[in-house]
């Protein structure tokens, strides 16, 4: 435990008094007592507040004769604390500080596990490129399949249309010196016809040759 006593002359200008020094985890009690019970203003601030210039906006406590306070810091993070005093009219103030070191809080000692490292940008770019290539290949495959299916049904319709066509009608060719090749072609085309139709074609050919 550490105890200090010191007298300060307090006036309109702000007076800063370091409370904890280089101690990080501590239990501290301070007492400020003016001579002759005079009135003065006091407030406790930390280093962050001083650096942000917010002290002027903070409300001071008015002490008539004496005031005391207690500060406990156990988060294992060093933070400087100051006693800030002003007085108008000026006066002498005795400052007594009693402080002792304490262990850090158990909650602070149990540190959470570190977060996983972020994925490198290079890997992200690789996976993005891979997904893009796979998507393009999938679209090409779908278009290829649809094209083949469409051609298959189109070919099937054409074959069906050819099979459904009627046999062309036959005309009688007459006259002298007529070209028998037409009748011959018709007879050759009738290779797949019925026997009755073939007989009719032979008669037509003979009649043409007689005339």
Would you write out the chain's pLDDT as a tens digit for each of its 211 residues?
899 999 999 999 999 999 999 999 999 999 999 999 999 999 999 999 888 877 778 899 999 999 999 999 999 999 999 999 999 999 999 999 999 999 999 875 556 667 777 766 655 565 677 788 888 988 888 998 888 878 777 666 555 555 555 445 444 444 444 444 444 444 444 445 555 556 666 666 666 555 5
Number of domains in the chain: 2
Please check whether residue 116 lies inside any domain of the structure: no
Question: What residue numbers bound the domain in which 178 lies?
Answer: 173-211
- Flag whether 90 is in a domain: yes
Domain check: are 95 and 8 in the same one? yes
In this structure, what token pair is assigned to residue 202?
Answer: 């032979």
Rounded CA-CA distance 71/35 in Å is 24
Characterise 21 by phi-psi region: left (phi > 0), alpha (psi -120 to 50), beta (else).
left
Domain boundary among 103, 128, 146: 103
Domain C-terminal end among 46, 71, 103: 103
Which of 86, 103, 120 corresponds to the end of one domain? 103
């Amino acid at each position: 435990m550490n105890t200090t006593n010191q007298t300060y002359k307090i006036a309109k200008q702000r007076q800063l008094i370091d409370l904890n020094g280089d101690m990080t985890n501590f239990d501290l009690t301070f007492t400020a007592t003016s001579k002759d019970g005079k009135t003065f203003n006091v407030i406790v601030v930390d280093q962050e507040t001083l650096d942000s210039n917010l002290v002027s906006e903070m409300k001071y406590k008015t002490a008539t004769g004496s005031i005391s306070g207690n500060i406990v810091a156990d988060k294992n993070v060093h933070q400087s604390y100051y006693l800030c005093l002003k007085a108008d009219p000026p006066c002498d103030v005795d400052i007594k500080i009693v402080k002792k070191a304490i262990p850090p809080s158990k909650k602070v000692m149990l540190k959470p596990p570190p977060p996983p490292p972020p994925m490198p940008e290079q890997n992200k770019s690789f996976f993005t490129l891979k997904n893009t290539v796979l998507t393009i290949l999938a679209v090409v495959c779908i278009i290829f399949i649809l094209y083949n299916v469409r051609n298959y049904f189109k070919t099937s319709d054409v074959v069906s249309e050819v099979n459904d066509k009627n046999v062309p009608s036959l005309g009688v060719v007459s006259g002298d010196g007529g070209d028998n090749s037409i009748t011959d072609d018709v007879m050759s085309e009738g290779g797949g016809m019925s026997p009755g139709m073939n007989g009719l074609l032979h008669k037509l050919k003979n009649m043409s040759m007689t005339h």
